[in-house]
Amino acid sequence: MKLRTYFSLAAICVAGCTTNTAPQPADSEVASASPSTEVDLSDDIQSFGDFSFSIPSGWSVVTPDRDKTKAMLLLDGTNWQNAKEMIKVDVDAPAAPTAKQLAEGFANSTGGQVSADALDFDGTPGVSASTSSTELTTPRNMIVVYRDSHAYLLMAGATAGVDISDAVSHVRESWKWTQPNAE
């Protein structure tokens, strides 16, 4: 139940997590993007409710496996069990007073670290935590963004020898909020 481990780590950061370990059917792939690693307006920009971003080249948008997962992307796979990389965005009520505290909770539970540098998500700061994970069951990167009383967790995992940083940067740099900030 590797997916359970992955989500258990997210549960540390977001209140009210439930686990669904059922793998997605192979036909759940719904979109893919064209080749390019740079953020480019010609890339496939997709909306996920409160936010949108450009899909990195070679990645596929798949049906999320949980209600709180608003976006789920895979590289070279049709489900998380056979992909090389996975990016997902979970949205829920915050489980800590600040995004930094949420990121620190994740980092402390995985032996990771929190970056001192804030990351920009279309004008909203995000806090990044990273681990040395080489399996999709534990995120290698988690960026926590608090906005409008919600915690947005951008989580990225990759197998050994695969660098996910370009894809995470691509998503972050193309991120747009679809509604003005209510706070």
Tens of pLDDT, residue by residue over 157-168, are 999 888 999 999
Q: What is the pLDDT of residues 45-99, one digit of tens each?
A: 999 999 999 999 999 999 998 999 999 999 988 888 888 999 999 999 999 999 9
Of the candidates 106, 84, 83, which has an alpha carbon nearest to the alpha carbon of residue 153?
Answer: 106
Question: Domain segments of the chain: what residues?
Answer: 2-19+42-177
Q: Residue 67: CB partners within 8 Å, gap ≥ 6?
A: none
What is the reported pTM?
A: 0.78
99-110 and 2-13 helices cross at what angle (nearest 10)?
A: 140
Stated length of the chain: 183
Q: In CATH terms, is domain 2-19+42-177 a member of 3.40.1000.10?
A: yes
Two tokens at 46? Answer: 């997709």
pLDDT at residue 111 tops 70: yes
Average pLDDT of the residues in 167-175: 97
Two tokens at 180? Answer: 């003005």
Q: What is the DSSP secondary-structure string of 77-128? A: -SSGGG-SEEEEEEEE-BSSSSHHHHHHHHHHHHT-EE-SS-EEETTEEEEE
- Number of Cβ within 10 Å of residue 122's Cβ equals 17
Q: What is the DSSP secondary-structure string of 46-88? A: EE-SSEEEEPPTTEEEE--SSTTEEEEEEES-SSGGG-SEEEE
